[in-house]
Structure 1
Amino acid sequence: MNKYKETIYQALRLIFGALVLAALLAYADYRWMEPNRTPPCDPSKLSEGHICLTTVLKQWGYSKIVWIDARNQDAFERGTVKNGQVLSIRNDEKAADLLAKALPVLHQAGIDDKCIVVFCDRSCNAASEIAEMLKGFQLQAPIYILEGGWDEIRKNPSLAS
């Protein structure tokens, strides 16, 4: 009889330990991992001028997108879009030079029936600033801000480098 009691207590300790471990893992996921996840993109909930990655790829395809990477230089050098035409335009000391090099390509995008997609990462607001600046140049190509930015691009292995 004592053997059965001991076995039951041991099983209860294991179950309790597993529950405590599961609770700790759930808390860690909620506390540290959840803020780093991007929610699924819902086109019906987007602000004017924003677009989901799946939507832009479906409508335009890789070859008809001119990507504007608005992240800082360090982030750009660590990796960017590998499919399609990529330009770096950001608000820093080189902004005027980068924009001067990019404008002919962006004007050509409208002629070639392409779209312009501006993205940043979750820690910057540069995508909307750059998109507004580009709209001031009366480009013929539609200009979108990628919802989820670099985080969404990174999830697509055929797109991120």
Structure 2
Amino acid sequence: MNAITQAAIIAGISTVAAVTNLRIIGPPRRDVPCRTEDLKEHEICLATVMERWQGKVLWIDARPRREWELDGMPGSLLWNLDPHEDANAFEAAVMEKLVENPPVVVYCSEGNCGVSSQIAERILKLGVTEQVFALKGGVGALRAAGMIKGSN
């Protein structure tokens, strides 16, 4: 038996196994697990945001501008740590929205990227509101919930 035939047989067996697994177990979980007991200071789970405020919060995207423009939360503001960006403009835009006193939720690229926590701390230091949180799971949690453009 030649290598191409062997590869075809292996691919066929793998496909049958994958389809069987999908039918028995179901599709993979895409949600981002979040346990309140694992949260750091000022972190929040997406489920809590939805339960408390039905998602009606001021979303702050802490990712690079191109990522925010590509698939940022609708209505979100950009505030990142890129040294080429105007930090004062970010602060001014957020301050303008904080007049309405909404809860603020900051998200970044990955669940543990840390930038969202840094931005949340900066907003807290402005002293305008105490309801500022970093989203546990970041954009992955929003994507898994279907809240980001292009998510399922």
How does the TM-score come out when normalised to structure 1? 0.68
1:67-78 matches, within 5 Å, as 67-78=59-70
2:79 corresponds to which residue?
A: 89
Measure the CA separation in 2 of the matches of 1:91 and 1:38. 27
Q: How many pairs are equivalent? A: 126
Q: Which runs of 5+ in 1 are unaligned?
A: 1-16, 26-36
Measure the CA separation in 2 of the matches of 1:45 and 1:57. 19
1:151 paired to 2:140: yes
- Which whole-Å deviations, capped at 9, do the CAs of 1:47-94 have from their partners, x for residues lacking one? 12111001111111123x000101001110110112xx4111111222
Letter in 1 for 2:55: Y
2:115 corresponds to which residue?
A: 126
Shift of 1:140: 2.3
Letter in 1 for 2:144: K
Q: Which runs of 5+ in 2 are unaligned?
A: 1-9, 19-29
Contact 2:58/2:76 (<8 A) preserved: yes
User: Residue 76 of structure 2 aligns to a residue in which SS?
Assistant: strand
Identity among equivalent pairs (%): 29
Shift of 1:109: 3.6
Does the C-alpha gap of structure 1 residues 39 and 86 become closer, same or farther in structure 2, counting only changes over 3 Å? closer
Root mean square deviation, CA, Å:
2.6
How does the TM-score come out when normalised to structure 2? 0.71
Identify the match of residue 59 of structure 1 among 39, 44, 52.
52
Structure 1 segments, 4+ long, off by >4 Å, are none
Contact 2:32/2:141 (<8 A) preserved: no
1:9 corresponds to which residue?
A: none
Measure the CA separation in 1 of the matches of 2:138 and 2:80. 14
Measure the CA separation in 2 of the matches of 1:39 and 1:103. 30
2:95 corresponds to which residue?
A: 103
Identify the match of residue 105 of structure 2 among 100, 117, 126.
117
Higher alpha-carbon Rg: 1
Letter in 2 for 1:116: V
Identify the match of residue 124 of structure 2 among 135, 140, 144.
135
